[in-house]
Structure 1
Amino acid sequence: MVRKDILDALRTYTEPFRVTSGSDFSLKHFDPGETLGLKMDKAEALQLLQRGSKWLAMEQEVLYAQDSWSVLLVFQAMDAAGKDGTIKHVMSRVNPQGCDVFSFKQPSAEELSHDFLWRYGRKVPQRGHIGIFNRSYYEEVLVVRVHRHLLDAQKIPPARIGSNIWDERLADIARFEDYLTRQGVVILKFYLNLSYAEQKKRFVDRLDNPDKHWKFSAADIRERRYWDDYMHAYEEAIRATASEAAPWFVVPADNKPFTRLVVAAAIVEAVEKLDLAYPKATQEQMKDLAAAREELGAEAANATEHTQAGGDSGH
């Protein structure tokens, strides 16, 4: 549906940030302020984003009709990186009927009584749908790793909590994603790479702007104290789970318009590679279509006769 030259253009936005092997991955190789030298005003950026959103809406319609593949978009980031805004802008034209967004908050008592992947597995998108995880099972190797006491609430037998628990969980996640991709789930994972300085700037903006006070939480400041711990946890997570089938995109997040362009390009590119097509009608369906056409044709003829009869009776 999208021409090859356009696909090539999309790759210029995605390739620099795609991670498919974590063997030598390091966050220091990715600049949160990168824009690939792109200099555009907000109007130009918005125009490009709207074009990408339009393509995505077209692709989603065929994805829904084909009812075979599904797409899972995983968004992870530090506070104020712009996850909500990115999802809102990139998915603005997608039909809500075929798209589900889940924001995983503090687990319930029921969820804590199951394995750590249980509540996430229940929300994997059904065939033909796009599912969005605004935070995901990666929280189990990020926030739970940084705040070890959260592990105690998960009721895991002490004998199963060893010194390698984070490596084991990351291996479980990698296997889980491998399983999903073999079932026809296309997985794209986005880490919105916000700089420490830009996060502070956005927090101050929230404090200074009364219209943004609702966005501010004292917990955000407390979590900022653990910045280095989180960066280490993110590096470990990306190293252990990046793959060709379920790539990470370490997206520069200091420039919001550019962030959204990269995310939109990655999604459109991935869905386009599926070579989707509207399903062809079976012979039985063709018979039904022919019968319906005949019935509607007869209905039109009868309506014409009734109109003529009504006109004749008026003279």
Structure 2
Amino acid sequence: MDIKKYKVEGNEKIELQTFATSEDHGFEEKELIDQLMPESVSKLKELHWKLHAEEKKGIIVVLQAMDAAGKDEAISYIFSNLTAQGLKTTSFQKPSDTELNHDYLWRIRDGLPARGQIGILNRSHYEEVIAPRVHDDLLKDEMIPDNVDKEKIWPIRFRQINDFERHMDENGFKVIKFFFNMSKEEQADRLLERMKNPKKNWEFSFRDVEERKYWDSYQKYFEDMLNNTATKASPWYVLPADDELYSRYIITQVMIDCIESIDPQFPEISEENQEKLDKYIKQLESEKA
């Protein structure tokens, strides 16, 4: 798989509509389910063990999309297979009053990983350059810098986000961002399934349908987000999200590529500790004799 075809690094302006929401990738569903996904997840799990054991680097994973695009399922089918001690998952909803009383990046801090961890941000700081543009009543006066026109705040936020992500990267935390590019028709099908299936009713929110009225606005601002915050150090990957299974496979391949670039290693035991280890091995083996 050539993961570069899904990668946006900011070296050129993109149009979101040129990215497919599904494609003829050449893999059979059975091949993905029985072979490719299990192999990829197994490899990712082994690399994650090394990342966690070494405790030198961390990875921030951003999942951004419209409702029902597959973010939760990606977490369940991919990241839940990794060692829990090295994984941190945080979901972001509408900001609370406490969060609104701080700067818009403040609430992200609790979701950031420690060294040796992968931190999953299910939605993220990118909500703050999307939702308030679709619903301009969400942006209150106290959130706007002094002497800045309301419409000019977005380039400022893009710069601040890029600075924040560069800061994280320079301090040993890779930032990998996935945008689930889903068609409006596919979202309708998934919402209908949630509405009609009693076992999935709990996943449904009336707000999900109401937000469809703003579909075109969301697509416009998602495209602006991609063009203004994709960088070489912190790229976006645009997933053909109508195909959930294939999108998950892309995610695993990107994560494998990311950790391989870090090249973590299991720590080597010192000579002194090796002698102590050998002593205790003999002690425990003698107990079993």
Indicate the TM-score class for this superposition, using the shorter chain for normalisation: over 0.9
Shift of 1:199: 0.9
Shift of 1:47: 2.7
3-state SS, counterpart of residue 200 of structure 2? helix
Q: Which amino acid aligns with 1:31?
A: A
Q: Does 1:128 align with 2:88?
A: no
Taking the aligned partners of 1:301 and 1:30, their CA distance within structure 2 comes to 64
3-state SS, counterpart of residue 234 of structure 2? coil
Taking the aligned partners of 1:45 and 1:154, their CA distance within structure 2 comes to 50
Shift of 1:221: 0.9
Shift of 1:209: 1.8
Q: Does 1:33 align with 2:22?
A: yes
5+ residue gaps in structure 1? 1-11, 305-315
Q: Does 1:15 align with 2:4?
A: yes
* 1:71 corresponding residue in structure 2: 59
**1:183 alignment partner, one of 171, 180, 191:** 171
Assess if the C-alpha contact under 8 Å between 1:13 and 1:262 holds in 2. no
* 2:196 corresponding residue in structure 1: 208
Q: Which amino acid aligns with 1:229?
A: S
Cα 1:231–1:46 shift into 2, 3 Å: farther
Taking the aligned partners of 1:49 and 1:207, their CA distance within structure 2 comes to 29
Q: Does 1:223 align with 2:208?
A: no
- Per-residue displacement from partner, 1:171-199 (whole Å, max 9, x unpaired)? 11111111111011111100000001111
Q: Which amino acid aligns with 2:273?
A: D
Assess if the C-alpha contact under 8 Å between 1:46 and 1:257 holds in 2. no
**2:69 alignment partner, one of 61, 64, 81:** 81
- Per-residue displacement from partner, 1:26-68 (whole Å, max 9, x unpaired)? 10210101242x2412464343111111111101110011111
Q: Which amino acid aligns with 1:135?
A: R
Q: Does 1:288 align with 2:277?
A: no
- Per-residue displacement from partner, 1:86-115 (whole Å, max 9, x unpaired)? 111111320111101000112222211111
Taking the aligned partners of 1:61 and 1:141, their CA distance within structure 2 comes to 34
- Per-residue displacement from partner, 1:218-253 (whole Å, max 9, x unpaired)? 101111100111011101111011111111000001
* 1:260 corresponding residue in structure 2: 248
Taking the aligned partners of 1:302 and 1:169, their CA distance within structure 2 comes to 63
3-state SS, counterpart of residue 199 of structure 2? helix
Cα 1:295–1:70 shift into 2, 3 Å: closer
Assess if the C-alpha contact under 8 Å between 1:203 and 1:216 holds in 2. yes
3-state SS, counterpart of residue 151 of structure 2? coil
3-state SS, counterpart of residue 226 of structure 1? helix
Q: Which amino acid aligns with 2:107?
A: R
Taking the aligned partners of 1:298 and 1:198, their CA distance within structure 2 comes to 62
Assess if the C-alpha contact under 8 Å between 2:41 and 2:81 holds in 1. yes
Cα 1:153–1:202 shift into 2, 3 Å: farther
* Structure of larger gyration radius: 1
Cα 1:109–1:293 shift into 2, 3 Å: same
Percentage of pairs with the same residue: 34
Taking the aligned partners of 2:110 and 2:275, their CA distance within structure 1 comes to 41
3-state SS, counterpart of residue 242 of structure 2? coil
Q: Does 1:151 align with 2:139?
A: yes
Q: Does 1:100 align with 2:88?
A: yes
**1:110 alignment partner, one of 98, 114, 131:** 98
Shift of 1:298: 5.2
How many pairs align? Answer: 289
Taking the aligned partners of 1:298 and 1:216, their CA distance within structure 2 comes to 58
What does 1:228-247 align with in structure 2 at a 5 Å threshold? 228-247=216-235
TM norm structure 2: 0.93
Assess if the C-alpha contact under 8 Å between 2:57 and 2:173 holds in 1. yes
What does 1:37-48 align with in structure 2 at a 5 Å threshold? 38-42=26-30, 44-48=32-36
* 1:52 corresponding residue in structure 2: 40
Taking the aligned partners of 1:90 and 1:72, their CA distance within structure 2 comes to 15
Taking the aligned partners of 1:225 and 1:112, their CA distance within structure 2 comes to 26
TM norm structure 1: 0.86
* 1:138 corresponding residue in structure 2: 126
5+ residue gaps in structure 2? none
Quote the RMSD (CA, aligned, Å).
1.9
Assess if the C-alpha contact under 8 Å between 1:76 and 1:134 holds in 2. yes
